[in-house]
Amino acid sequence: MTRPVVWVCRVLVGLVCSALLGWMALAIYFDFSLLGPPWLRAGLAVLVPVGAVVTRRQVFDKVFEDLRHSVVHNSTFGGNALAMVAGLATIDVMKDEGVVENAAAAGATLVEGIRQLASRFEMVKEVRGKGLMIGIEFGEPSSLKLKAGWKLVHGAQGLFGQMLAIPLLRDHGILTQVAGHNLDVHKLAPPLIIGQEEIEHFLRAYETVLTELHRFPGPLWDLGRTLIKNSISW
């Protein structure tokens, strides 16, 4: 029986616990992977672009069986000597400075801190993550005032997460993202070198934003109304 090819692209180092690639830590096995991750692109101060193809030996022997086929499947920035040196140097620095271990430890500290906050705020339904890729999922509240605000903002798609991301950036200098279109999941992907001071700053800021989020009416819900008006006029 023919087994389907599994593609894995852009593996984030923040996912790792004890290896450089997240699929190793998650026990995900693939047939063919194209890698162009930020941790390799940061090899030099000028951010040298670099990519690589990773595959099983059996697949490699079939796909790259001769010189004529060697360039049929490759990555955008593969085969560049300078980029390869920069990538190897970056990996050496990551190993020497314990970047991977820091990602695992800092991520665990962040998740635990956010979970402790979540127990006080009814709209936070789940906090999950691996390494420094963290998602905070929100859901409809049970209290009547907050339920009214929730339904108001969800009258337009994809705006709830912006009510969290905007004040975090504007008031606290913290850049975050919404996990996807029309998803009530707030995504965190901090730098791999984040330390305890930055973690504590984030937790204080997030507590402030969550507190404001659970006050209806309030400034954050006014922001939500503004976002709705702008989305309609746009």
Question: HEC states along 51-118?
Answer: CEEEECHHHHHHHCCCHHHCCCCCCCCCCCHHHHHHHHHHHHHHHHCCHHHHHHHHHHHHHHHHHHHH
More confident residue, 38 or 144: 144
Residue 16 has pLDDT above 50, yes or no: no
Instruction: Report whether 188 contacts 110 (CB < 8 A).
Output: yes
Gap between the Cα atoms of 17 and 117, Å rounded: 24
Average confidence (pLDDT) over 7-23: 39
Angle made by CA atoms 114, 120, 125, in degrees to the nearest 5 = 65
**pLDDT, tens digit, 9 for 90 and up, residues 70-95:** 666 665 555 678 777 877 888 788 88
Interatomic CA distance for residues 51 and 10, integer angstroms: 10
User: Residue 87's pLDDT is what?
Assistant: 77
Residue-wise pLDDT tens digits, 109-147:
999 999 999 999 999 999 998 888 899 999 999 999 999
DSSP code at position 125: E
pLDDT number for residue 128: 93
- pLDDT bin (cut points 50, 70, 90) of residue 69 is confident
pTM of the model: 0.77
Residue 33 near residue 9, CB atoms below 8 Å: yes
Instruction: Identify the structural domains of the chain with CATH numbers, from first to last.
Output: 7-96 (no CATH), 99-233 (3.90.1150.10)
Alpha-helical runs (H) found in 154-218? 160-172, 196-213
